[in-house]
Each structure stands twice: as C-alpha cells, then as structure tokens.
Amino acid sequence: MNRDELAEFLRVRRARVTPADVGLPAGGTRRTPGLRRQEVAQLAGMSIDYYIRLEQGRGPHPSRQVLNAVARALMLGQDERAHLFHLAGQPMDPPRIREDVPQSMLHLIAFLDEVPAYVLDARYDLRAWNPMATTIMGNLDCLAPDQRNVLRWIFMSPDISLHFDDEEKGAFARASVADLRAAAGRYPGDRRIQALVAELLALSPEFAELWGRHEVQVRREQRKRIHHPVVGTIDTICQVMPVPDRDDLRLVLYTTEPGSPSHRALRELRQHTLSS
C-alpha cells in the first residue's frame, strides 16, 4: 500500500468534484474547490475521522468495500477506480511487466504491409514494429533500447513547446502521461517505470506539470495527424488494443479511412519505401 500516493490522489480527485456533481447544496463560501472531507465521508458512508486519516496518509489498510464506496463518492471512472485499488495495495493486474511479444503478434504486424503497426509496453518502450512503422517513426533498428521510448521522444524534444501548441499532439501527450500514471499504479515495484518518471520529472517541466495532475486513463483510440516529408499530411486513427494474454502490451495501429487522401498517401508511402 502506497499511503502517500493514495492520500494525494484522494485529495486531488476530491478537489475536482463539486457539490452539484453529487447532488449536494453548495453550502456558502468554500475556501477550497471541490467537496469537503465530511461530504466525501457522508457520501461514502464512513466516519469523517476515517476518511481524514486516509487523506493524511496515516489510515488503515482499506478494504475493497471501503475503496468502492470512496470511488463512488468521488465519481471515479473505470481507470481511476483501478488506480485507486492499486495504490491501496489491492492490485488487479499482474505485478510484473511482460516484455516478450508473442510470435503470433510478430507475424500479424509483419503481414500488415499497408498499416504502420508497433507493440508498446506499459513503460512506453517499443517492443516490435513493422516496416511501415519505420517509415513514419524513423529507423528504429538503429536506436538503443532505452532510446525507443515514446515518452522520452515527446518530453525530451527541443520542440516540446510547439508540441503543446498543437491540439492533437497536446492531447496525445496528456493521455500518455495519464496512461503512465495508471501503469505506475498497476506495477508499483517496477524500477524502470520509477526511473523513467524520476528522469522526466527532473528534465521536463511539462511532464512534471501533467504528472502533478494525477490524471489516470488507459490509452485507447485517438486521432493523430502525421506530417511526412515525402507524402505530406496523413490523418490517421491511432488504435490501441491489448495484446491477448499480455495485458501490459498494446498493439498500436495507424489506420485511415478507406479511399481517403490519407489512405492514398499511406499507399504511396509504402510504394516509395519498397522502391527506395
């Protein structure tokens, strides 16, 4: 159980729920945003003293019943609820990140000759990719393993400020940090996640600001615009799917609408790759 992280998560989430959200009267001037501690305790059906101790990092080990009650009171989503359970020492997922990509998945991405595809682990390290992925991401084979990390690419980029000026890129960065926060909760003993977070906190104010929000969300489908020097702009749907029997690996596909200019651009890019 990570008492300090649990306490901070509860405080941050409480501040984001208004009395109106849960059907309570505002009750006059409030010194801080969000619900009061006694209101959360009331909604969760527990004593105010018990909840205060949880927020102060000195509470007992909460039961699943207590965690479910707090999650309802704070209106936590599915991913946030899972994160709450992990912080409280009630893990729902395997405690160790699997890094081996199943052979069947390697065959699948190799057969996707018109679709950029790669496999990403919970630390945002690339584990496998197909030739089309290299056409939009560069020659990944030439990079050292620790350089194949998507979060390092984003937050260590010299153009990070321009990155956040772009609405889609900024949304992608925020979603990725929220996803890493969820992974850190699922795998509290993973030293490489801890080292990655420490590195980015020290070197990237943008990452530190997003990490401090305590947003938790597992990444799923998202639109992404790619600017390629050969074929121009490609509008894709970045689909993220779990690898069967490997909950900590995700298959990422960049798909386009059939017959669209972006679809034709991907086909042109494939032909250019084959001829070069």
Give the pLDDT confidence of 3-43 residue by residue, as tens digits.
Answer: 889 889 989 988 888 887 877 777 666 777 788 888 888 88
Radius of gyration, alpha carbons of the chain: 21
Report how far residue 190's alpha carbon sits from residue 213's, in angstroms, rounded to the nearest whole number. 21
> Are 12 and 87 within 8 A, CB to CB?
no
Q: Dihedrals φ, ψ of 222, to 5°?
A: -160, 145
What is the model's pLDDT at position 40?
Answer: 86
Which pLDDT tens digit goes with each residue over 144-180? Answer: 888 899 999 999 988 887 777 878 888 888 989 999 9
CB distance 56 to 79 below 8 Å: no
DSSP-assigned beta bridge partners for residue 250 = 120, 242
Q: Which three-class secondary structure state does DSSP give residue 252?
A: strand
- What residues contact residue 267 under an 8 Å CB cut-off, 6+ apart? 114
Give per-residue pLDDT as tens, 71-95: 988 888 878 888 888 888 886 555 5
**3-state secondary structure string, 173-241?**
HHHHHHHHHHHHHHCCCCHHHHHHHHHHHHHCHHHHHHHCCCCCCCCCCEEEEEEECCCEEEEEEEEEE
The helices-and-strands tally (H runs, E runs) of the chain is 13, 5
